[in-house]
């Protein structure tokens, strides 16, 4: 166990990288941010988001200097790594050994204006995931809220990807934040990224059915796919009504359900028409493929999964995990009053990308500076509940699971939130 004295001494030991000179946030009138991270490693979310607030980020065709700066940081794993020392020595990032000291900046009262909980988890295939990779967002939240109550204040909170790995904890985080008055935001880049072609669900339009397709096999990939689809569907007529039931099908059950029209192959065809990473025989001789009507999908997809969601208002939506068919994330929906399906691709960056993450960072910055979350925390809460109940259905061999706890309503503003330039 590293002592506080050794921690502070090691964390500021050797200057490895010098950034441009800049003033502290408290000296410029900028909002101050505390970051609570499981780790600050290369390509981790903490590194991407943290660096954006330390150095700036590309946005709308120029380099944007944020109106908020990182004032204090707590890193649970390997807090004295070379990468952290680079940021500390080069950009004035100050590390503290506890969450309480991080929020108070080493003093007797809170010294920041917002808290970002940045944790990477669930990115590996299910077969290789371990309990260690389930991050303790809820434990962090308990410590943060304890300090808020001691100080009789409530600051904006952002949780990376999702509120918690568990639905009950997500429910507590959401309800507690609402009770104490903390603006709350959670999520990833997928609902906010570029769309090809550029489109959004027409605000207030009735939706009959929807499909989202991912080619990646991990819990994080399915969460991001559902989050992207939910970002579309919550704009429908009447707003979000919550989910009535969830069913998870695996293997041959997926194709049987398609033949029984429990999910739409027409919408799958429309979604795949937006993919530019078709796999299968395309990888061998570059030929175009009609993956749906040719009947080749069962032969090229490894362990298919279909999560069928029935919403309270009657809408049916399906998440299809088709590893081996595509390498990107695509969506389609059948709308009232429209002949052809609405279909698009959510752009996913092939590697670490400041431009790609900027669509998320700018929304976090907006919450930090205004005190209002531009994205509903209920979206992440609902997606976490759907995923948890879908796994329960999977254990029951595809039995439908009713979800009265997911009957929550919310509305979003008419203005679209995804990035365009």
Tens digits of per-residue pLDDT, 308-318? 999 999 999 99
* Contact partners, residue 9, CB within 8 Å, separation at least 6: none
Contact (Cβ atoms closer than 8 angstroms) between residue 156 and residue 371: yes
Residue 264 reports pLDDT greater than 50: yes
Confidence bin at 351 (pLDDT 50/70/90): low
More confident residue, 251 or 287: 251
Question: Angle at which helices 377-395 and 219-233 pack, to 10 degrees?
Answer: 130
**DSSP-based three-state secondary structure for 180:** helix
- Per-residue pLDDT at 98: 97
Query: What is the per-residue pLDDT for 92?
Result: 82
pLDDT of residue 315: 98
pLDDT at 147 over 50: yes
Gap between the Cα atoms of 265 and 371, Å rounded: 43
Whole-number pLDDT of residue 260: 97
pLDDT of 364-416, one tens digit each? 999 999 999 999 999 999 999 999 999 999 999 999 999 999 999 999 999 99
* Residue 42 to residue 30: CA distance in whole angstroms: 27
pLDDT at residue 128, as a whole number: 42
Which of the four pLDDT bands, split at 50, 70 and 90, describes residue 129? very low
Q: What value does the mean pLDDT take over residues 100-112?
A: 96
Half-sphere exposure for 307 (CA within 13 Å, toward CB): 27
Whether the bond into 211 is cis, omega within 30 of 0: no
pLDDT at 352: 59
Give strand ranges (E) for 206-257.
Answer: 207-214, 243-250
Q: Which domains does the chain have, with CATH numbers?
A: 4-189+354-372 (3.40.50.720), 195-349+381-406 (3.30.360)
Residue 380: predicted pLDDT: 97
The pLDDT assigned to 29 comes to 72
pLDDT of residue 371: 96
Distances (CA, A) of 321 to 208, 264, 267, 302: 21, 14, 14, 9
The set of residues, in sequence order, having a beta carbon less than 8 Å from that of 266 and lying 6+ positions away, is 334, 341
Q: CA-to-CA distance for 181 and 132, rounded, in angstroms?
A: 32
At 348 the pLDDT is 83
Share of the chain above pLDDT 90, in %: 74
What is the model's pTM?
0.89
At residue 375, the pLDDT reads 96
Q: State the pLDDT at residue 60.
A: 87
The yes-or-no verdict on residue 225 having pLDDT over 50 is yes
User: What would the pLDDT profile of 325-350 be if each residue is shown by its tens digit?
Assistant: 999 999 999 999 999 999 999 998 76
Rounded mean pLDDT, 53-65: 92
Label residue 107 exposed, middle or buried (CB < 10 Å: 0-12, 13-18, 19+): exposed
Q: How far apart are CA 48 and CA 285, in angstroms?
A: 37
pLDDT in tens, 207-221: 999 999 999 988 889
**Angle ∠(91,94,98) on CA atoms, nearest 5:** 155
Q: Give CA separation, 172 vs 141, 150, 167, 379, in Å.
A: 10, 19, 9, 15
More confident residue, 91 or 20: 91
The reported pLDDT for the residue numbered 28 is 56
Please, which residues bridge with residue 184 across strands? 157
Measured in whole angstroms, the distance separating CA 219 from the mean position of its chain's CA atoms is 11
Alpha-helical regions (H) of 346-419: 354-370, 377-395
Residue predicted with more confidence, 349 or 305: 305
**CA torsion 204→205→208→211, rounded to 10°?**
-80
């Amino acid at each position: 166990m590293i002592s506080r004295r050794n921690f502070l001494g090691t964390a500021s030991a050797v200057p490895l990288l010098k950034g441009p000179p800049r003033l502290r946030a408290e000296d410029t009138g900028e909002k101050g941010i505390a970051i609570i991270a499981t780790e600050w490693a290369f390509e981790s979310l903490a590194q991407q988001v943290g660096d954006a607030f330390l150095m700036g980020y590309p946005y709308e065709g120029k380099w944007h200097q944020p109106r908020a700066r990182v004032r204090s940081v707590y890193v649970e794993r390997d807090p004295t790594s070379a990468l952290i020392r680079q940021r500390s020595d080069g950009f004035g990032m100050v590390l503290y050994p506890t969450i309480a000291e991080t929020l108070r900046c080493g003093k007797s009262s809170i010294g920041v204006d917002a808290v970002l909980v940045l944790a990477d988890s669930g990115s590996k295939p299910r077969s290789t995931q371990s309990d260690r990779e389930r991050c303790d967002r809820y434990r962090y939240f308990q410590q943060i809220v304890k300090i808020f109550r001691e100080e009789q204040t409530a600051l904006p909170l952002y949780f990376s990807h999702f509120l918690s790995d568990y639905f009950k904890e997500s429910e507590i985080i959401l309800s507690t934040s609402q009770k104490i008055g903390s603006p709350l935001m959670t999520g990833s880049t997928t609902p906010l990224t570029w769309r090809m072609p550029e489109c959004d669900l027409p605000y207030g339009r009735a939706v009959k059915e929807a499909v989202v397709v991912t080619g990646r096999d991990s819990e994080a990939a399915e969460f991001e796919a559902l989050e992207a689809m939910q970002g579309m569907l919550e704009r429908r007529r009447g707003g979000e009504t919550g989910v009535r039931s969830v069913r998870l099908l695996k293997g041959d059950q997926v194709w049987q359900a398609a033949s029984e029209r429990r999910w739409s192959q027409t919408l799958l065809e429309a979604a795949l028409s937006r993919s530019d990473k078709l796999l299968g025989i395309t990888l061998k001789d570059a030929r175009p493929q009609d993956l749906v009507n040719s009947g080749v999908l069962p032969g090229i997809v490894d362990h298919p999964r279909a999560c069928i969601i029935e919403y309270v208002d009657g809408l049916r939506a399906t998440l299809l995990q088709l590893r081996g068919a595509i390498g990107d994330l695509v969506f389609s929906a059948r709308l009232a009053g429209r002949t052809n399906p609405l279909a698009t691709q959510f752009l996913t960056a092939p590697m670490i990308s400041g431009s790609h993450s900027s669509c998320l960072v700018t929304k976090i910055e907006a919450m930090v500076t205004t005190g209002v979350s531009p994205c509903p925390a209920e979206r992440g809460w609902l997606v976490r509940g759907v995923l948890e109940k879908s796994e329960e259905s999977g254990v029951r061999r595809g039995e439908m699971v009713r979800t009265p706890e997911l009957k929550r309503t919310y509305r979003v503003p008419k203005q679209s939130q995804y990035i365009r330039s």
